[in-house]
Structure 1
Amino acid sequence: MAREAFQTLTEPMYYILLALTGECCGVDIMNKVEELSHGRIRVGPGTLYAMLARFEQHDIIRLTAEDGRRKSYVITDTGIDMLTKEYARLKTMVEDGALYMKDFL
């Protein structure tokens, strides 16, 4: 199952999936990742297309349109489930740390 292959998501993976909650092509994904992360994460074409291929292979995203070299994708139900679980995991980590970090923030 895809969740085993992607036990936790890297930041670029997380933001790529967030970007694909709406249909996007590669260039749009790169721009959305940078926008969603407030410029912290920049995904280059090599990284992006390698991740898209892996995500598509594991039914996390699906190809929606192809016009020459331009391909568009969208997240699948499997991908939404994975993204939701990762969001919950990250939220739990922040909540767990809040008690201990309050004196440092």
Structure 2
Amino acid sequence: MSAVESSRRLPVLPVWLIATIAGAFLLLYAYVIWNALIFLIQQANGVEGLTGYGWFVLLLPVVFPIVVFAGAFAIGWKRRAAQFALVLLTGLGLVAAFWLNIFAYAAATTALYGG
């Protein structure tokens, strides 16, 4: 056995368990994406509309959860079930904090509107 083969780790969890845990968390991430998309559409159809900067800022919470889920999945899928779930939960917390920051910024500034 070569050094490369011995350093390669096989998944600790069965595939069905990885898919179940990831699928449950994917629903939570999808909920955040859906809320961000609805907020973007509501603000774009508002009285003042959005500037280019507003589109950029309000598209970030739509894209960010996808990137975080992919990163969390890549980090955690070879770990034990509780560790995998904890990595995905940490990513979800990061996404929630980011979404709240964007929401607060959108409520506090007028730079996003009036395009």
- TM-score interval, smaller chain: 0.3 to 0.5
Asked which structure has the greater CA Rg, the reply is: 2
Which structure dedicates a bigger proportion of its chain to helix?
Answer: 2
Relative contact order higher in (CA < 8 Å, ≥ 6 apart)? 2
